[in-house]
Structure 1
Amino acid sequence: MGVPSTPASNAIIYLTYGAFLILGCYVAWRLRNQSKLEWLSSNRTQKGVPLALNFIASGECARAPTLRA
């Protein structure tokens, strides 16, 4: 298999963008009756310290960006 042409690549990218837009609009429409308090309480499922420890344990803090001249 070869590399897809530029128009084919653009078609794949924009179809993916469109699918995500439609999916996002559908989820927003389904959750439109949810109150602000319900949304905020569902967002705070993990406290700050365990979340920070998970972030450190994943190795994200160890990956320093390398600058090349």
Structure 2
Amino acid sequence: MLQFAEQFQDELDQLRNTYKLKFAKDRTYIEQEINLLIDEERKTLDTLNRYLSDHRRNIEKRNHNKRKYNTSSSPH
């Protein structure tokens, strides 16, 4: 009976170690994928921010030029 219990415990330990190793690999893979997604989102947000900044700058420049060359506006 003692031999059966020891064998059973050894098999449980082996299964636990196998699943711990698999979990560690899966966790590492998931963390890598999440980091890639975060990097892609950062790139997308940076691109969007640049676009919006450029667009805002162009609008401001256009409005400034309209005021500058508008003959009906009062002098500054």
Q: Which one has a bigger Cα radius of gyration?
A: 2
TM-score, normalization by structure 2: 0.39
